[in-house]
């Protein structure tokens, strides 16, 4: 019973060990001549969908706004961190992305809450630290005032 036991990594199921990790991306040079952060890669549609769902959780009040502070511009953070009323859960159904300029990704999505559909619009820009959401808006239809029927003059 002197069998030798070794642990092997499951290639598709486990994270690589430190010695097996790929080399890091070399830092790019900036105007000052010294190394700086690596250039953030392109934002994929699946990642945009994940970030939008995270921002919707903060919008609904189900996630503290402080958790998304690093992902958004100060204006967006201010709108998410204000006092919150109880809101229904919003769920994204379709997310569409486009790249109108280098370093910019715009997204729109169909969002449902309480059986109603709304539109969501967002704009992400590339910064030296990564991607940041500059605009985030849930577009809801305007509430029309209730009109009372006019009585005919007698």
Structural domain boundaries in the chain = 39-139
Looking at the DSSP bridge assignments, the partners of residue 107 are: 97, 122
As a whole number of Å, the CA-based R_g of the chain is 24
- Give the SS3 label for residue 47: helix
Out of 3.10.450.50, 3.40.190.10, 3.10.520.10, 3.40.50.300, the CATH code matching 39-139 is 3.10.450.50
Beta strands in the chain (DSSP E): 91-101, 104-113, 116-127, 130-139
Give how far Cα 137 sits from Cα of 3, 64, 133, 143, Å: 62, 18, 11, 17
Half-sphere exposure (CA, 13 Å, Cβ side) for 24? 8
Written as tens digits, the pLDDT of the chain (154 aa) is 556 666 555 555 555 555 544 555 555 555 555 445 555 567 788 889 999 999 999 998 888 899 999 999 999 999 888 777 767 888 888 899 999 999 999 999 999 988 888 999 999 999 888 899 999 999 877 766 666 666 655 5
Euclidean distance between the first and final Cα of the chain, in Å? 107
pTM of structure:
0.65
* CA–CA separation, 70 and 80 (whole Å): 13
């Amino acid at each position: 019973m002197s069998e030798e036991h070794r642990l092997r990594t499951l290639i598709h199921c486990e994270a690589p060990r430190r010695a097996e990790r790929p080399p890091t991306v070399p830092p790019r040079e900036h105007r000052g001549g010294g190394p700086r952060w690596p250039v953030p890669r392109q934002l994929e549609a699946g990642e945009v969908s994940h970030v939008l769902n995270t921002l919707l959780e903060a919008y609904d009040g189900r996630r503290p706004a402080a958790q998304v502070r690093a992902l958004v511009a100060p204006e967006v953070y201010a709108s998410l961190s204000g006092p919150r009323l109880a809101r229904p859960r919003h769920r994204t159904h379709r997310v569409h992305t486009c790249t109108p300029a280098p370093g910019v990704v715009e997204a729109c999505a169909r969002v449902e809450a309480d059986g109603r559909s709304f539109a969501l619009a967002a704009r992400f820009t590339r910064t030296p630290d990564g991607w940041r959401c500059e605009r985030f808006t849930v577009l809801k239809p305007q509430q029309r005032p209730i009109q009372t029927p006019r009585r005919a003059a007698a």
